[in-house]
Amino acid sequence: MTIEEKYERWLNDPSVSNEDKKLLKSYTKDQINDAFYRDLEFGTAGIRGILGPGSNRLNVKIVARATVGFARYLLEVFPEAKKMGVAISHDNRLYSREFALETARVLSSFGIKSYLFDALRPTPELSFAVRKMKACGGVMITASHNPKEYNGYKVYDENGCQLVPDKIARLVEIIDSLGFELDVKLGNEKAEIVFLDSSVDEEYRKEVESIALHKELDKSKIKIVYSPQHGTSYMNAMKIFEDLGYNIIPVKEQCSPDPLFSNTKSPNPENKEAYELALKYAKENKADLILTTDPDADRVGIAFLDSKGEYRLYTGNETGALLIDYVLGERKKLGLLSKNGVLFNTIVTSSLGAKVAMSYGLSVESLLTGFKFIGDRIHHYEITKEKTFEFGYEESYGYLIKPFVRDKDSLQALVMISEMVNYHLLRGKRLDEVMEELQQKFGYHHDELYSIYFEGQEGGEKMKEIMKENRAHPFKEIGGLKVVALEDYLLLKRYEGNNVQEIRGLPTSDVLKYYLQDGSTVSIRPSGTEPKCKFYYGAVGTSSKQVMEKPKALHKAILEALHLE
């Protein structure tokens, strides 16, 4: 079916709302092309797209089609799927509640029970609910940290983990077999829709609070500014802070759920703009720490008052390394550190955290980007008993301390970061001083992420061409530094000199990772959820000044080589 044919069918179909038809009629030729040139695909975190009518937009028709596919997938995999049911939650975004209700309605038509939260809830609590209800799957309606124009649809397995590629592959096959989104037929049954209330929140919070290692610490002196960025963490977070005795200063303008994110310049903790109002609060109150979660509350970012009296932001890599050192160090003192412990990170995560973990005797496994791979690996070792999970994290501000959920969990991170900062403050140290000690011990590290956006059909083709060309003609040197090894995760091969080794234990992914002669790394990866290509730079060196300047220089060299400057 051509773009024009798809457009005309949407324009004339009686099931398409008048509101959507009015929007379709207002589209320019370029907008029509972008809205219909492809179908939204499952990426590293399910479906995510711009809201609006069309096959390449997120709307009730696309949600219904995905849910019909998920229902058929569950009925195929689980003999007791109808009885086990599916847990459903959503964030604060436009149409999130409508999409969640539609998901429940479609599942019901196939005889599958739904456990639908009575209002918005965090992503990690959805994972928790899947496990608590012993459901066969879960659906979270969220676009995570994306701008307000986006929404998304994430699917979870019976362990509360997002579907990994071998499971997604079968789901995608089923969805593709359904044909055009306006032609998809629902079932003819009617199963129960159970609404989940605050009792689930209480059980979830109890588990989150249980991760604290030193509840006895004096909390009277630490001041913490907190923002949920108009998202889902507020209710649970404030109750957890209260139970644990912290003095919290909420950024009140950003505490109410708001799909337009009216009082923040960005809901993404990776962006400096997300901290502007919180920093104002921190300066007015002389706060020690700023914590901000993204809208669906699976990620958290921090800023803190440093030893020079200035507020400083730390990246996910830096926060991760500090958390690893604190959690493993205190567990060791308390006799809680397992002898066969394992830490999970990703192939684009800083090497600093891994070095810290190994110093405590842990093994480290680097998995593909996407926390589902960490969740799936936790389940693997839960069955085999070969290793014991101690910590999991991604460079993109996602952490998991205790695996009662199988996704990154900002509520757990809020507890542990607060405790860590307080612990060090009581010993007269700010986080920058603790980080300096780590850098002196393990070498100086500085990681930066640069992204280049490629909008529309032409942009998508450009991204593919960049990866194809770079794979065919890999760099021999970058920024004057010799490439000593290359890992190609699409071919699952590692090239080092004349040696070629298989990369085992990972699924394929369109990622290239270069290892440079000084120990630094460069990774190139098209995003699985947004129209952009990501460039990860992991600088290693002997001084802070040296590593701080290196990522920018390496990125400049990459852009020149790819003719993107």
Q: Which CATH number fits domain 3-202: 3.40.30.110, 2.60.40.1180, 3.40.50.1000, 3.40.120.10?
A: 3.40.120.10
Instruction: Check: CB of residue 447 under 8 Å from CB of residue 435.
Output: no
Verify whether residue 89 is a known catalytic residue: no
pLDDT of 565 strictly over 80: no
d(CA 61, CA 456): 21
pLDDT above 90: percentage of residues in the chain: 93
- Catalytic, out of 109, 127, 144, 509: 144
Type of residue numbered 253? E
DSSP structure class, residue 229:
T
Instruction: Check: CB of residue 353 under 8 Å from CB of residue 317.
Output: yes
Q: What pLDDT, in 10s, does the model give residues 255-280?
A: 999 999 999 999 999 999 999 999 99
Give the closest residue to 10 by CA, choosing from 161, 509, 23, 269.
23
Q: What's the pLDDT score for residue 460? A: 78
Any idea what the Cα angle at residue 304 is, between residues 301 and 305, rounded to 5°?
170
Q: What's the pLDDT score for residue 527? A: 81
Q: What pLDDT, in 10s, does the model give residues 212-243?
A: 999 999 999 999 999 999 999 999 999 999 99
Which secondary-structure segment (H or E) carries 162? Answer: none
Residues of CATH 3.30.310 domain(s) within the chain?
444-561
Q: What's the pLDDT score for residue 308? A: 97
Which secondary-structure segment (H or E) carries 355? Answer: helix 351-359
Q: What's the pLDDT score for residue 348? A: 96
Q: What's the pLDDT score for residue 46? A: 86
Q: What pLDDT, in 10s, does the model give residues 430-449?
A: 999 999 999 999 999 999 99
d(CA 335, CA 327): 12
Phi and psi at residue 116, in whole multiples of 5°? -105, 125
**SS3 assignment, position 157:** coil
Residues of CATH 3.40.120.10 domain(s) within the chain?
3-202, 220-440
Least confident window among 6-20, 39-53, 114-128, 234-248: 39-53
d(CA 554, CA 549): 9
| Average pLDDT score, the chain | 96
d(CA 510, CA 514): 14
Termini Cα distance of the chain: 38
Q: 225-247 burial, b for 16+ CB within 10 Å, e for fewer?
A: bbbbbbbbbbbbbbbbbeebebe
Confidence grade of residue 401 (pLDDT, cut at 50, 70, 90): very high
Any idea what the Cα angle at residue 500 is, between residues 495 and 506, rounded to 5°?
80
- Rounded average pLDDT over 343-372: 97
DSSP structure class, residue 252:
G
d(CA 263, CA 394): 27
Q: What's the pLDDT score for residue 371? A: 95
304 vs 278, 309, 361, 422, 440, CA distance in Å?
11, 9, 30, 11, 21
Domain 220-440: CATH superfamily is Alpha-D-Glucose-1,6-Bisphosphate, subunit A, domain 3 (3.40.120.10)
Look-up: residue for tokens 């109410």? 256
Give the closest residue to 372 by CA, choosing from 398, 353, 397, 401.
398
Q: To 10 degrees, what angle do helices 431-442 and 316-333 make?
A: 80
Confidence grade of residue 106 (pLDDT, cut at 50, 70, 90): very high
How many angstroms from the chain centroid is the CA of residue 390? 19
DSSP structure class, residue 400:
E
Q: What pLDDT, in 10s, does the model give residues 462-487?
A: 888 889 999 999 999 999 999 999 99
Instruction: Check: CB of residue 200 under 8 Å from CB of residue 129.
Output: yes
pLDDT of 502 strictly over 70: yes
Cβ neighbourhood burial of 58 (10 Å; 0-12, 13-18, 19+): buried
Give the closest residue to 446 by CA, choosing from 304, 305, 351.
351
Report the residue count for the chain: 565
DSSP structure class, residue 231:
S
364 vs 172, 480, 515, CA distance in Å?
32, 30, 18
d(CA 156, CA 138): 5
pLDDT of 322 strictly over 70: yes
What CATH number should be reported for the domain whose range is 444-561? 3.30.310
pLDDT of 417 strictly over 70: yes
pLDDT of 70 strictly over 70: yes
- Rounded average pLDDT over 166-185: 93
pLDDT of 43 strictly over 90: no
Q: What's the pLDDT score for residue 44? A: 64
**SS3 assignment, position 414:** helix
d(CA 228, CA 270): 14
d(CA 94, CA 99): 9
Q: What's the pLDDT score for residue 529? A: 66
Q: What's the pLDDT score for residue 458? A: 79
- Rounded average pLDDT over 339-345: 97
Q: What's the pLDDT score for residue 486? A: 98
Cβ neighbourhood burial of 563 (10 Å; 0-12, 13-18, 19+): exposed
pLDDT of 456 strictly over 80: no
Q: What pLDDT, in 10s, does the model give residues 148-169?
A: 999 999 999 999 999 999 899 9
